[in-house]
């Protein structure tokens, strides 16, 4: 977990913004606005299209029901899923390493709508809203089996002054830099924002070189097509 609290990040961000004094008026730099910029930077840094943080990897299972194609696409706790790492049909009621499994292939809605969906063992999936749909539709033979999902979840927003990020402490600096970039854009400091964005990308690229561990799937490509969060910041 990070070591800089939301209150500390807010203080440091205000310092980076040259100690703006218009703090109390509605059109000034209020705590609410500082919190908004900190969280915007935090959500940017933690999006898997920017960096795939191990702290935000998650897994959950969906139990198959005879004749049911659609399943709620959220794990227990209702966290938002931003991207998928893998989806597999596990031929059993529990997700154990020794249980036979088959990887499901990602498809889009149009692909499914252009054909008659059969029943049987699921081979493909697509996501629509908060639901995942399987094709073929599971038959009675596969009821009780599970679909094992590996994914990246959304980082929880920082709301209380004592909240810290879920990332390792060295990422506090990048979260602050991303927050400053968003703040400068909002305040109309375009030239400063471009410089901050360049610093942010440079530091992020440095971190990518020493945060990768052997055995991690850094060549992963998402099975769920998502738009890059604030995509303009990518390399």
Report the pLDDT value the prediction gives residue 223, as an integer from 0 to 100.
43
Helices (H), 107-171: 109-113
Report the pLDDT value the prediction gives residue 234, as an integer from 0 to 100.
42
Domain boundaries, the chain: 6-46+160-212, 56-153
Report the pLDDT value the prediction gives residue 218, as an integer from 0 to 100.
54
Rounded Cα gap, residues 187 and 212, in angstroms: 35
- For the chain, helix, strand, coil in percent to 5 are 35, 20, 45
Helix 31-45 and helix 6-16, axial crossing angle in degrees, nearest 10: 100
Sign of the alpha-carbon dihedral angle for 206, 210, 211, 214: positive
Report the pLDDT value the prediction gives residue 20, as an integer from 0 to 100.
75
Whole-prediction pTM value?
A: 0.81
pLDDT tens, N- to C-terminus, the chain (235 residues): 889 999 999 999 999 988 777 777 777 888 999 999 999 999 999 998 888 888 999 888 999 999 999 998 776 666 788 888 899 999 999 998 899 999 999 998 888 778 788 899 999 999 888 889 999 999 999 999 999 999 999 999 999 999 999 999 989 999 999 999 999 999 888 999 999 999 999 888 887 766 665 555 555 544 443 333 344 444 3
Q: Can you give the C-alpha Rg of the chain in angstroms?
A: 21
Report the pLDDT value the prediction gives residue 224, as an integer from 0 to 100.
40
Report the pLDDT value the prediction gives residue 226, as an integer from 0 to 100.
36
Report the pLDDT value the prediction gives residue 77, as an integer from 0 to 100.
66
């Amino acid at each position: 977990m990070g070591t800089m609290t939301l209150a500390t990040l807010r203080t440091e961000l205000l310092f980076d913004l040259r100690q703006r004094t218009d703090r109390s008026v509605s059109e000034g730099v209020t705590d609410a606005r500082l919190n908004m910029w900190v969280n915007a930077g935090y959500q940017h840094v933690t999006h898997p299209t920017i960096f795939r943080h191990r702290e935000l990897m998650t897994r959950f299972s969906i139990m198959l029901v005879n004749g049911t194609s659609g399943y709620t696409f959220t794990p227990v706790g209702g966290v938002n899923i931003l991207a998928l790492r893998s989806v597999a049909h596990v031929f059993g009621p529990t997700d154990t390493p020794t249980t036979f499994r088959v990887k499901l292939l990602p498809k889009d809605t149009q692909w499914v709508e252009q054909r008659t969906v059969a029943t049987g063992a699921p081979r493909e999936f697509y996501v629509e809203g908060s639901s995942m749909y399987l094709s073929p539709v599971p038959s009675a033979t596969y009821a009780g089996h599970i679909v094992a999902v590996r994914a990246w979840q959304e980082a929880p927003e920082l709301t209380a002054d004592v909240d810290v990020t879920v990332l390792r402490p060295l990422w506090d600096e990048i979260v602050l830099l991303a927050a400053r970039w968003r703040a400068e854009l909002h305040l109309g400091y375009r030239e400063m924002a471009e410089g901050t964005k360049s610093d942010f990308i440079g530091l992020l690229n440095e971190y990518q070189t020493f945060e990768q561990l052997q055995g991690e799937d850094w060549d992963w490509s998402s099975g769920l097509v998502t738009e890059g969060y604030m995509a303009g910041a990518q390399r």
